[in-house]
Amino acid sequence: MVRRARRINRELAEVYPYAHPELDFRNPFELLVATVLSAQTTDLRVNQTTPALFAAYPTPEDMAAAVPEEMEEIIRPTGFFRAKTKSLLGLSAALRDDFGGEVPGRLKDLVKLPGVGRKTANVVLGNAFGVPGITVDTHFGRLVRRWKWTDEEDPVKVEAVVAGIFPKSEWTMLSHRVVFHGRRICHARKPACGACPIAPLCPSYGEGETDPEKARKLLKYEMGGYPGQRLSPPADYPGKPAPALGAG
């Protein structure tokens, strides 16, 4: 299983050499806020919302002093906007009061912040601080179970199993590759098995569409000509940037 898992990772690295977080951010604070907003919505929707949010509140101090109703209006498109406003106000106040207005770069500090769980902390550590982290979101959990790396449903247990299979240096990129694959090919309801480059390594081949022609039609994003989720993608990203809110 371990050998096969590592081969899957190598294969994914070839398919998605440009895998990256799909949230737009310019600093750790923006990534932390964007990750909190990404609960129960798409990264695209978050990316369409954060430019106005960070224009209004560029720092934790600014955000902590926000008028809640004004912030709710800005983040309304991401859903659960009242709860998310509450989280962001608490989070930015804690950054201001306990961490000198800076996002801390340690897991044990990050998870103390209101509304920040292990998944969010690992996203921030891996992508804003270069500290290896495995991010177990819904895509990651689904795919590693399809690949029989584990049967665990609990994200913390999944993280521990996967951490035992791969060296730390692979953790962050592995997380991006798996999520890319989950979003683009190995979908929750209809995986495009017939168009999947890792089909020969996958114990769940056949769970989705195996006819190559029909499977290709299920592909999304750059493979089907659709944009990725970022409005400001990294320079090596082969897809088109996503449209701004209201533009399409």
**199 touches ligand SF4 (CB under 6 A):** yes
Q: How far apart are CA 105 and CA 132, in angstroms?
A: 12
Residue with tokens 């081949």: 205
Catalytic residue of the set 86, 112, 137, 220: 137
For residue 208, which amino acid is it?
Answer: G
Active site residue 148: no
For residue 63, which amino acid is it?
Answer: M
Three-state SS for 123? helix
Complex with ligand SF4: residue 162 or 196, whichever CB lies closer: 196
Among 74, 202, 231, 242, binds ligand SF4 (CB under 6 A): 202
Min dist CB 162 to ligand SF4, Å, is 16
Complex with ligand SF4: residue 113 or 193, whichever CB lies closer: 193
Report residue 157 as tokens: 């247990």
Under a CB-based contact definition with an 8 Å cutoff, are residues 95 and 62 in contact? no
Rg (CA), the chain: 19
**18 touches ligand SF4 (CB under 6 A):** no
178 annotated ligand-binding residue: no
**71 touches ligand SF4 (CB under 6 A):** no
- The residue ranges that bind ligand SF4 (CB under 6 A) are 146, 185-186, 191-193, 196, 198-199, 202, 204-205, 207-208
